[in-house]
Amino acid sequence: MLDSYQRKINYARFSITDLCNLRCLYCMPEEGVTKQNCGDILRIEDFITIARVLVAMGVDKIRLTGGEPLVRKGLLALVEELGSWPELKDLSLTTNGLLLPRLGEDLKKAGLKRVNISLDTLDPEKYKYITRFGDLAKVLDGIDTALSLFAKVKLNTVLIKGFNDNEIESFVDLTRRLPVDVRFIELMPFKGQSQFAFGTYLSGDEVLRRCPELKPLEADDPSAPASLYAYEGALGRVGIIRPMSCKFCEHCNRIRISADGRLLTCLHACEEVNLRPYLQDQEALRQIITEAVAKKPQEHHLMEGQLQERDMGKIGG
Ligand code: SAM
Ligand code: SF4
């Protein structure tokens, strides 16, 4: 499926829940999100229906995210179904890692191909601060589990000025001894948590300033947002994702489905289409998705102050 700028849209991210077992300062309010009625959140069957239509339209890559996808009941059934579709070349998941020791093996058996784990600091006290109460040891166990199960493991590290700039070298060093890609992500402001984001933004260039021996690598996928680098002889790579200082909208291939059934064609645009009324009719669903994709914005306007009303946890990062 092509949008009106001839971009091929083949990647869908499903936020399968907006609930989370952490409360990262830049992502969610302290009290968490208000629990919605069961009827307001897509059922696992609804995600499968939407996925079936999207795959028929050319989507061959799905990422499950949230909120925290591992707290969603029915996750294994969803992975098992999607994992059995040969048209789906990639089925992955983004998680804070806390529940991976418990669920990782079953997820792998169900057909999950790879995971991204979010980790912004290697210091237990700072981890507790940024997540409001998280236990670093549990995430580290989750990373060990992922490394033992999956061929590809990526760590997502949001760059936060005055918080983890002094840990950049330590994160990059992990790639010397572990087969992980560490991806540094520039902090983006969302309306709800924008106060935190404005004072703490740090450009991705800081990584190269601190680690000048990193050598640039060819991108393995032109639509992937990360610029890739590596130390010579390292087991893993370093990615820098710069949505703020260098937007990558020109090659954007993605759409998002929120837990409450909204289709968002841009992470930072407030326009959304409610898919729920069309769930019983796959042709109508196809039609409404085609129309929405045709209106996918050319680019985001974050730097001009146009902020998304939903927090990242409500869209699916
Ligand atoms: N709970 C899972 C996790 O933390 O990996 C999945 C959902 S979380 C919203 C997905 C990713 O979005 C995480 O890597 C998180 O750090 C990132 N994220 C959340 N808010 C962000 C923001 N304001 N700017 C940049 N990245 C953000
Ligand atoms: Fe939860 Fe992930 Fe948001 Fe942190 S970044 S509050 S773990 S959804």
Structural domain including 139 reads: 11-315
The answer to whether the beta carbons of residues 136 and 124 sit under 8 Å apart is yes
Q: Is the CB of 96 under 6 A from ligand 2?
A: yes
* 157-185 residue pLDDT tens: 999 999 999 999 999 999 999 999 999 99
In a domain, 6, yes or no: no
- Give the mean model confidence (pLDDT) for residues 199-206: 92
The reply to whether ligand 2 has any atom less than 6 angstroms from the CB of 98 is: no
Strands 90-95 and 215-216: unpaired
Beta carbons of 195 and 181 less than 8 angstroms apart: no
Ligand 2 within 6 A of CB of 27: yes
Which residues partner with 180 through β-bridges?
A: 153
What percent of the chain is predicted at pLDDT more than 90?
A: 78
Of 84, 73, 59, 60, whose CA–CA distance to 16 is shortest? 73
Determine, yes or no, domain membership for 181. yes
What pLDDT does residue 19 have? 95
Q: Which ligand is nearest to the CA of 68?
A: 1
> CA–CA separation, 127 vs 123, rounded Å?
6
Higher pLDDT pick, 129 / 32: 129
**Average of per-residue pLDDT across 98-117:** 97
Q: Which residues contact 139 (CB under 8 A, 6 or more apart)?
A: 96, 97, 98, 117, 119, 127
CA 229 to CA 193: how far, in whole Å?
30
Q: Per the structure, how many domains does the chain have?
A: 1
Crossing angle of helices 136-149/124-131, nearest 10°? 100
In a domain, 80, yes or no: yes
Render pLDDT for 18-73 as a digit per residue (tens, 0 to 9).
999 999 999 988 888 877 777 789 999 999 999 999 999 999 999 999 999 999 99
Pairing relationship of beta strands 254-257 and 262-264 according to DSSP bridges: antiparallel
Residue type, 84: S
Residues lining ligand 1, Cβ inside 6 A: 20, 26-27, 65-66, 68, 94-96, 118, 156, 158, 185, 187-188, 190, 197, 312-313, 317
CATH number at 218 reads: 3.20.20.70
Ligand 1, atom 4, lies closest to the CA of: 96
CA-based torsion, 57, 62, 65, 70: positive or negative: positive
Instruction: State the pLDDT at residue 240.
Output: 96
Extract the tokens encoding 81. Answer: 């179904």
* Closest to 289 in 3D by CA, of 279, 275, 299, 277: 275
> What is the pLDDT, as a whole number, of residue 305?
67
Query: pLDDT tier at 198 (50, 70, 90 boundaries)?
Result: confident
**DSSP labels for 241-276?**
E-TTTS--GGG--EEEE-TTSEEESSTT----EE-G
Name the pTM for this structure: 0.95
Closest CA to 257 of 76, 119, 113, 62: 62
In a domain, 152, yes or no: yes
The answer, yes or no, to whether any atom of ligand 2 lies below 6 A from the CB of 314, is no
DSSP reduced 3-state for 181 = strand
Q: What is the pLDDT of residues 240-282, one digit of tens each?
A: 999 887 777 888 999 999 999 999 998 877 789 999 999 999 9
Distance 86 CA to ligand 2 centre (A): 31
Question: Is residue 5 in some structural domain?
Answer: no
